[in-house]
Amino acid sequence: MSPHDCRIIELPKVEDPRGNLSIVEEECHIPFRIARVYWIYDVPGGQVRGGHAFRKQQEFIVALSGSFDVMVDDGKTRRRFALNRSYYGLYVPSGYWREMENFSTNSLAVVLSSTSYEEEDYVREYKDFLEYNRNGQ
Ligand code: TYD
């Protein structure tokens, strides 16, 4: 597996009769420094979020509550990951098209990002993504 592959990363889980605890540390459990954290919530049924790619941003997506699917596309192959536990997440390197869908009621998606928000980092049109990918940029 290349370090540039999308993959599920399992986080430490400290099981306890008082309730479980999980941890994520930058450059330890995930392969980047965290510049920003954002979360997506109150998603109405049937809505799709995140139809875009990032030029630089790497991210780690966790379903802190509820469930949703993340579809990732490298320009050739599409893969779908179902996220439904708070002790693992999906690492998405830069350069993947990704969409988030099938949000359950009251789901909470938290995204740890390697960059601060920059609109110029987004590739928002799928045809531009394919071109970006073809040119290997
Ligand atoms: P966007 O990333 O396009 O949402 P999604 O891909 O989940 O559909 O962001 C939606 C809006 O929120 C967009 O207008 C920019 C704004 N935004 C920020 O201002 N800062 C941020 O860190 C993020 C993630 C979004």
pLDDT along the chain (137 residues), means of 10: 82 98 98 98 97 98 98 96 98 98 97 98 98 84
| Pocket lining for ligand 1, CB < 6 angstroms | 36, 38, 40, 49-50, 52, 117
Q: Measured in angstroms, how far is the CA atom of residue 48 from the centroid of ligand 1?
A: 13
pLDDT value at position 136?
73
User: Strands (DSSP E) along the chain, which ranges?
Assistant: 7-10, 13-14, 21-22, 36-40, 49-54, 59-65, 68-73, 78-83, 88-92, 97-101, 108-113, 122-123
Pocket test for ligand 1, best of 34, 38, 70, 113 (most atoms within 8 A of CB): 38
| pLDDT in the model for residue 3 | 57
